[in-house]
Structure 1
Amino acid sequence: MRTNEYGQPIGAAVERALPAPTPDRVTLVGTHCRLEPLDPAAHAAGLFAAFAAAPDGRDWTYMPVGPFASEEDYRAWAEAAAHAQDPLQFTVVSTATEEPLGTLALLRQDPKNAVVEVGFVAFSRGMQRSAVSTEAHFLLMQYVFDALGYRRYEWKCDALNEPSKRAAERLGFTFEGTFRQATVYKGRSRDTSWFSILDTEWAALRAEFVRWLGPENFDEGGVQRTPLRTRS
């Protein structure tokens, strides 16, 4: 425990240069997918088709937008979203089919403190619970920690959204608590669950993602042989 000249406990010294870089419109390439900056001309039609394949609108219950009634409605949202820096939207494109399957974003960007949040995660049924889904998150984490040098990576969701909370924990995020009545969306109150990954935890998590995503971890049908082990 560090103390100052008055004997008061103080936090660890930060000896790195700040601010960190602002996230940019980059393309991140993996084995199963790549992340591209959201481009309505290239992605909107395919994304709407992927989302429309779901039998109902339940995937949008905990999202601030959607479901979308038509491709035109989705394209209008994508046109506005694609021009924003924060949230900075990325499209997940399958390397096997070259089809767009979902989106996710970097938001609440705080370069001054090297903190950023992943959110607006809209994954179609075609990529949920798949290697594409896991690799998409890994690619964005790798960009945030290794390329930009951020100290903290956040995940927040409605406290009632159990699938999102399970996904955060599976991916190695640590639950930090619940902010009560934190926001209002779609005309209802939201308690927000907070999760994070710190830069000091990243090396071990990176190694586990690399292990899990390795071809030897999947059988001939593409089914994992061992689960992702991000919890000690």
Structure 2
Amino acid sequence: MTLNWTPAATPDASPLDGRFIRLEKLDPARHGDDLWEVLQGPGSDPVLWNYLPYGPFAERADFDRWLQGNAAGRDPLFYSVIDKHNGQVQGILSYMSIVPEQGRFEIGHIAFGAAMQRTPKGTEAVYLLSKLGFELGNRRLEWKCNDANTRSKRAALRFGFVFEGVFRQHMVVKDQNRDTAWYSITDKEWPAVAAGFERWLSVENQRPEGQVKTLEACRLA
């Protein structure tokens, strides 16, 4: 089937504003103190690093070197997640596996502090990166995770990704076997998925007392 295909544009790391959060290109000098506190401090998520290929970091100097390495690259392209209410940097995530000539990109390297969990902030961060990726002309968004990572697999389905299968013995991470679960959203599926995100994030649905409808319900509306 002929596509008359034009390669996608690449993200330029411009800030992205949402209702609850702002995404900015990772800047260790401006964001490092907050990230150290939320990702490694006493109130941080104890299982945050279990399925990431790095961390946890016992020393701040090692953490800073990790941030600096992340900030220097374009693939992965890291963003910091800033709470618009209090200005605190509360997590990071990235574009990765960016292949504009095929119209393919991935969202990954997600490390959200405890203050983002069970709030709309993490969902909005994923929505903003997904939205921009498709606006740049991509036709496929990927989500990959360790098949043992039940939180990430549950999140992928909640966000509207379609499960595609498991790559067995795909990687060795932290001296452990990793079977990798693959998920995707295509450009044809994105409008309905995006509408669900937008309904879920709306003022009508996200009220001071909590959500009215789940994201899954908003996607089916």
- CA RMSD of the aligned region, Å? 1.4
Deviates more, 1:192-201 or 1:68-77: 68-77
Partner amino acid for 1:48?
W
Q: Is the 8 A contact 1:45 1:75 kept in 2?
A: no
The answer for the alignment partner of 2:121 in structure 1 is 132
Q: CA deviation at 1:72?
A: 2.3
Is 2:202 aligned against 1:225? no
Contact 2:99/2:105 (8 A) holds in 1: yes
8 A Cα contact 1:86 1:109, kept in partner: yes
Deviation digits for residues 74-113 of structure 1 (CA, Å, limit 9, x no counterpart): 1110011100111110100000011000010111111110
Match of 1:171 in 2: 159
Structure 1 stretches lacking a partner, 5+ long:
1-11
In the alignment, structure 2 segments of 5+ residues that lack a partner are none
Amino acid across the alignment from 1:130: T
Runs of 4+ residues deviating >4 angstroms: none
Aligned length: 218
Matched, 1:191 2:179: yes
**Which residue of structure 2 lines up, in the alignment, with residue 116 of structure 1?**
105
Cα distance in structure 2, aligned partners of 1:220 and 1:192: 38
| Cα distance between partner residues in 2 of 1:73 and 1:45 | 13
- Given that 1:47 and 1:100 are in contact with CA atoms closer than 8 Å, whether structure 2 keeps it comes out as yes
Letter in 1 for 2:67: A
Pick the structure with greater CA Rg. Answer: 1
Q: For 1:1-232, what aligned pairs fall within 5 Å after superposition?
A: 12-17=1-6, 19-51=7-39, 52-54=41-43, 57-146=46-135, 148-221=136-209, 223-229=210-216, 230=219
Quote the sequence identity (%): 42
Q: CA deviation at 1:13?
A: 2.3
Q: Which amino acid aligns with 1:199?
A: D
